Amino acid sequence: MKVYKSSEIKNIAILGNAGSGKTTLTESILFESGQIQRRGRVSQKNTVSDYFPVEQEYGYSVFATVFHAENNGKKLNFIDCPGSDDFSGAAVTALNVTDTAAILVNGANGVEVGTQNQFRTTNKLGKPVIFVVNHVDDEKCDYDSIIEKLKELFGQNVVPVQYPVTTGPDFSTIIDVLTMKQYTYGANGGKATVSDIPADQLDKATELHHALVEAAAEHDDALMEKFFETEDLTDDEVREGVRKGLVARGIFPVACVCAESDKGVDRLLEFLGNVVPFVTEVPKVKNAAGEEVAADENGPTSLFFFKTGMEPHIGEVQYFKVMSGKVHEGDDLVNADRGSKERLSQLFVCAGQNRTKVEELRAGDIGCSVKLKDVKTGNTLNGKDTDNRFDFIKYPNSKCIRAIRPVNVAEMEKMMAAINRMSEEDPTWVVEQSKELRQVLIHGQGEFHLRTLKWRLENLDKIQVELYEQRIPYRETITKKARADYRHKKQSGGAGQFGEVHLIVEPYTEGMPEPSMYKFNGQEFKITPRSTEEVPLEWGGKLVFINSVVGGAVDTRFMPAILKGIMERMERGPLTGSYARDVRVIVYDGKMHPVDSNEVSFMLAGRNAFSQAFKEAGPKILEPIYDVEVLVPADYMGDVMSDLQGRRGMIMGMESEGGYQKLNAKVPLKEMSNFSTSLSSITAGSASFDMKFASYELVPAEVQDELIKAHEAEQAED
């Protein structure tokens, strides 16, 4: 295979809602470019994409597929991404390592919520977008309405470069308003017959051509000047203007195809080859140190590994992008993340599970290697004289959490190894061994996402597992002041144990004044702080520990032991055994013995005094509250609001966003367990949501009573 220069390489992510036809389009692109001799079909489970058993079982794309096509002396690298929102991590990865997004729109369904979500992601990352309307042969397709909807949602920068003469089962002809030619396809698609635009289409084509030329001219001063003079540009000038407009996100071209019958795919491939920016024309990527790294084939060698695939009989297949320089078969590189040396004994370019050996890849190109010793997803390999490290991929927040355990407890270690391996393939599967909850937790993007993991464990790794409800990480705190003292005394022959601690507890808030005086049962306690220690807690909040002992009643050397005893009790609150937070403790008095006092004595005295005071200080349970953002069609708005309110959610606001409603709410984590399933059911799969931790808030009194009773019952069982 030819070695392509950086100035000949283009990288494109294929996105689209589930069912938009990305896998079928991939087959047609590979067929048109000569990579395969026969197009596979999803129904026959013989496509280049979707070749993993779990994908063939479900009939959905689960993993992104890397492939390439050669066209007119250019190399186009593609990444075909899953359409389901549950597998959005693959799309995020693809957009970060490619330079342009081709977003498929289902001609039968029009613009869907997934289309909007993906466009929003491209906007965050500043990536160019080309829309491709597929399924133009569907009887429900209304191309003109789709164009209007795209403009309504994404602005007047949406500009058609093609349109079908007719849609529905009779679709066979495309008018290209860039070349101003008509392309007619036979029943089996393939290469089109080119002819002049017929008279009955000329006015419409001329109007759209003029709009395209004007949009292209806007992004180049020389082109704009020529356009004002002549009101027209050459085809190559239009392509140049479109390419510059794409980079600036100032133009969003729209093409049309029927991937199933291979109609329009040749024109799409040529259009992408002509207008998508080369890797040398897009903004430079920054490394972890914030330094720009150019796609310069003459620069130092750096590879970023963005994906791991696990394949039978091969093992790990590691996919990378050459960020800078050149890489050759047999090169020795250094792993910037792990410090190990790595030899790339084999280099390949990919088309799904088909791989072609190459001897060299240059900056901007995408390839893969196998049998690497110590490379993980997200690692950077460098050549001599460079220490780049890249960490620019930010994955979406988890939307669904379940506890997981093997049916056979003896298989726990085997299960953990399998899950860790799978999270290399899809980093949005996040495994957490929670010391606090005493559970293994799996974080994912939705119920389907987690069911896919379960299917793989049971069918490929032969480990039977159970997914069940996670425990909620509650917190405990206090709502008022309280005082307690405790004497620990133990005598059993020889040296004994003695320690007495008097302390006050109160709720802690940031910026509160130093204590000076307290009154309990008519008795005043004057406080003179000698030292203050703020302890940021691993689980959030603070413990503030004040030593106010005067007159040497308790030696200063015993204060760390008292603090240790208090911390032990903070780790297991009295109401539900949850972590406690946001408490200020003032140790103001105590007693010690010249012989029997030691650290253990004061640790136990401090722990018990704190426990007594905590129980008298109006203890309350806090629960985690999440910010939830739902993007939902207006027709379903009322039902979704009712569902959230039924989950103790508080609606914080709503706004319109391109024909959809964006609903913001605060909802307790406990109530979000099955929200993804419920939302899909309520909205017929047309809504999506995101959630992230917001704060801890007091639970309602009736909920607190239920939680305390449940904890007491659990303690009794133990």
pLDDT at residue 660 is higher than 70: yes
Take residue 376 and report the two structure tokens written for it.
């993980």
pLDDT at residue 353 is higher than 70: yes
- β-pairing verdict for 542-547 and 531-536: antiparallel
Strands lying side by side in the sheet with 189-195: 162-164, 173-176, 181-186, 189-195
What dotted CATH number matches 7-174+251-275?
3.40.50.300
From-to residues of CATH 3.30.70.870 in the chain: 400-471
For residues 578 and 573, what is the distance between their CA atoms, to the nearest angstrom?
A: 5
pLDDT of residue 452: 92
Task: Read off φ and ψ for residue 326, nearest 5 degrees.
Answer: -130, 155
For residues 315 and 302, what is the distance between their CA atoms, to the nearest angstrom?
A: 24
Instruction: Give, in words, the CATH class of 621-703.
Output: alpha beta
CB 218, CB 224: distance < 8 Å: yes
pLDDT of residue 95: 96
From-to residues of CATH 3.30.70.240 in the chain: 621-703
What confidence tens digit (pLDDT) does each residue in 184-199 have? 999 888 889 999 999 9
pLDDT > 90: what percent of the chain?
A: 78
CB within 8 A of 318, min separation 6: which ones?
Answer: 305, 307, 308, 368, 369, 370, 372, 375
What confidence tens digit (pLDDT) does each residue in 385-419 have? 899 999 999 999 999 999 999 999 999 999 999 99
Say if pTM beats, i.e. exceeds, 0.95: no
Confidence of residue 658 (pLDDT cuts 50, 70, 90): low
Q: Kindly state the DSSP code that residue 460 receives in the 8-state scheme.
A: T
pLDDT of residue 48: 75
Q: Label residue 249 exposed, middle or buried (CB < 10 Å: 0-12, 13-18, 19+).
A: middle
Say which range, 60-69, 158-167, 285-294, 505-514, has the weakest mean pLDDT. Answer: 60-69
From-to residues of CATH 3.30.230.10 in the chain: 476-618
Grouping H, G, I as helix, E, B as strand and the rest as coil, residue 424 is: helix
pLDDT at residue 359 is higher than 70: yes
pLDDT of residue 227: 82
pLDDT of residue 55: 75
**What helix, strand, coil percent values describe the chain, rounded to 5?**
30, 35, 35
CB within 8 A of 508, min separation 6: which ones?
Answer: 541, 542, 543, 544, 582, 583, 584
What confidence tens digit (pLDDT) does each residue in 61-120 have? 778 999 999 988 999 999 999 988 889 899 999 999 999 999 999 999 999 888 988 998
When pLDDT is averaged across residues 635-650 and rounded to a whole number, the result is 95
When pLDDT is averaged across residues 517-529 and rounded to a whole number, the result is 94
Grouping H, G, I as helix, E, B as strand and the rest as coil, residue 566 is: helix
- β-pairing verdict for 430-434 and 439-444: antiparallel
Which of 450, 336, 337 is CA-nearest to residue 383? 336
Grouping H, G, I as helix, E, B as strand and the rest as coil, residue 554 is: coil
Take residue 485 and report the two structure tokens written for it.
């003292």
CATH topology of domain 400-471: Alpha-Beta Plaits (3.30.70)
DSSP 366-398: EEEEE--SS--TT-EEE-TT---------PPPP
CB within 8 A of 113, min separation 6: which ones?
Answer: 17, 631, 632, 633, 660, 686, 687, 688
Q: Kindly state the DSSP code that residue 451 receives in the 8-state scheme.
A: H
pLDDT of residue 50: 66
pLDDT of residue 493: 67
What confidence tens digit (pLDDT) does each residue in 301-343 have? 999 999 998 877 778 899 999 999 999 999 999 999 999 999 9
pLDDT of residue 718: 65
Amino acid at 383: G
pLDDT of residue 717: 76
Say which range, 134-148, 168-182, 658-672, has the weakest mean pLDDT. Answer: 658-672
Confidence of residue 554 (pLDDT cuts 50, 70, 90): very high
pLDDT of residue 228: 84
Q: Give the H/E segment covering residue 587.
A: strand 583-591
Which of 94, 159, 102 is CA-nearest to residue 134? 102
What confidence tens digit (pLDDT) does each residue in 560-573 have? 999 999 999 999 88
Which of 326, 317, 307, 315 is CA-nearest to residue 379? 307
For residues 126 and 227, what is the distance between their CA atoms, to the nearest angstrom?
A: 28
For the segment(s) 285-382, the CATH number from 2.60.40.10, 3.30.1050.10, 3.40.50.300, 2.40.30.10 is 2.40.30.10
Q: Label residue 551 exposed, middle or buried (CB < 10 Å: 0-12, 13-18, 19+).
A: exposed
What confidence tens digit (pLDDT) does each residue in 591-611 have? 999 989 999 999 999 999 999
pLDDT > 70: what percent of the chain?
A: 98
Grouping H, G, I as helix, E, B as strand and the rest as coil, residue 121 is: helix
What confidence tens digit (pLDDT) does each residue in 240-297 have? 999 999 999 999 999 999 999 999 999 999 999 999 999 999 999 999 999 999 999 9
Grouping H, G, I as helix, E, B as strand and the rest as coil, residue 524 is: strand
For residues 592 and 496, what is the distance between their CA atoms, to the nearest angstrom?
A: 12
Neighbouring CB atoms inside 10 A of 704's CB total 19
Q: Torsion angle of alpha carbons 354, 360, 361, 367, nearest 10°?
A: 20
CB 490, CB 583: distance < 8 Å: no
Task: Read off φ and ψ for residue 50, nearest 5 degrees.
Answer: 55, 45
From-to residues of CATH 2.40.30.10 in the chain: 285-382
The residue written with tokens 């706004």 in the block is 655
For residues 69 and 34, what is the distance between their CA atoms, to the nearest angstrom?
A: 8
Take residue 131 and report the two structure tokens written for it.
């829309």
CB 336, CB 379: distance < 8 Å: yes
CB within 8 A of 91, min separation 6: which ones?
Answer: 13, 15, 64, 81, 82, 118, 121
What are the CA-CA distances from residue 426 to residues 6, 308, 378 (Å)? 29, 8, 11
From-to residues of CATH 3.40.50.300 in the chain: 7-174+251-275
Q: Does domain 476-618 have CATH number 3.30.230.10?
A: yes
For residues 517 and 323, what is the distance between their CA atoms, to the nearest angstrom?
A: 64
Task: Read off φ and ψ for residue 491, nearest 5 degrees.
Answer: -135, 120
